[in-house]
């Protein structure tokens, strides 16, 4: 779910359908909305980044393929001096190092790549594994819910400013 330009905001991680489901559930928590109003945009961004790192730390421990392990780091946003957190799986870093942009496609791992490409096949496999783990692993599911709520709070704040 790309409410803002996802790569620039720094969360090119969880699949849009998963976030849409989590945002829908998170929107029912009115107490969280009131608490979010008391926090600065910077605090909300840091909470979302921390929750994202926690989510992928758990995912890296439990996924079945080391190629799916995700690393988050700060990078300068395109056209900006501001650094944003960018999380990418190992397979994407490896493939991008050896392929041209027209072979990998634009954007983050959750953006479409050319159909049938090696990159798209790996992205599809990773999405499938994430969906399975969300359904079967309580720790991963709870970390995802925390991340989705933190991202929702930050995105809502940025839209209202």
Q: Which pLDDT value is given to residue 3? A: 36
28-87 confidence digits (pLDDT tens): 444 455 566 788 999 999 999 999 999 999 999 999 999 999 999 999 888 888 899 999
- The position carrying tokens 């700060």 is 74
- The position carrying tokens 């991680």 is 13
> Among residues 56, 36, 63, 74, which one has the least CA distance to residue 157?
36
Q: Is residue 27 part of a domain?
A: yes
* Domain coverage including residue 19: 6-160
Q: Which pLDDT value is given to residue 71? A: 96
CB within 8 A of 95, min separation 6: which ones? 104, 118, 119, 122
Q: Which pLDDT value is given to residue 32? A: 55
Q: Is residue 1 part of a domain?
A: no
Q: CB 104: neighbour CB atoms within 10 A?
A: 21
Q: Is residue 111 part of a domain?
A: yes
Alpha carbon distances (Å) from 107 to 27, 64, 76, 113: 27, 25, 14, 9
Domain count, the chain: 1
139-161 confidence digits (pLDDT tens): 999 999 999 999 999 999 999 87
> Among residues 1, 2, 3, which one has the least CA distance to residue 158?
3
Q: Which pLDDT value is given to residue 79? A: 86
**C-alpha torsion sign, points 71, 74, 75, 78:** positive
101-117 confidence digits (pLDDT tens): 544 444 554 556 667 78
């Amino acid at each position: 779910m790309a409410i803002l330009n996802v790569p620039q905001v720094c969360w090119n991680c969880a699949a849009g359908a998963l976030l849409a489901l989590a945002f829908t559930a998170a929107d029912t928590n009115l107490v969280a909305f009131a608490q979010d109003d008391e926090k600065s945009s910077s605090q909300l961004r840091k909470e979302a980044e921390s929750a994202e790192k926690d989510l992928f730390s758990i995912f890296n421990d439990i996924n079945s393929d080391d190629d799916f392990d995700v690393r988050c780091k700060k990078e300068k946003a395109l056209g900006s001096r501001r650094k944003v957190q960018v999380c990418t799986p190992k397979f994407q870093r490896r493939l991008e190092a050896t392929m041209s942009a027209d072979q990998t496609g634009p954007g983050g791992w959750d953006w479409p790549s050319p159909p049938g490409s090696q990159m798209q096949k790996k992205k599809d496999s990773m999405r499938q594994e994430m969906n399975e783990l969300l359904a079967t692993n309580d720790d991963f599911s709870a970390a995802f819910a925390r991340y989705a709520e933190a991202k929702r709070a930050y995105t809502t704040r940025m839209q209202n400013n």
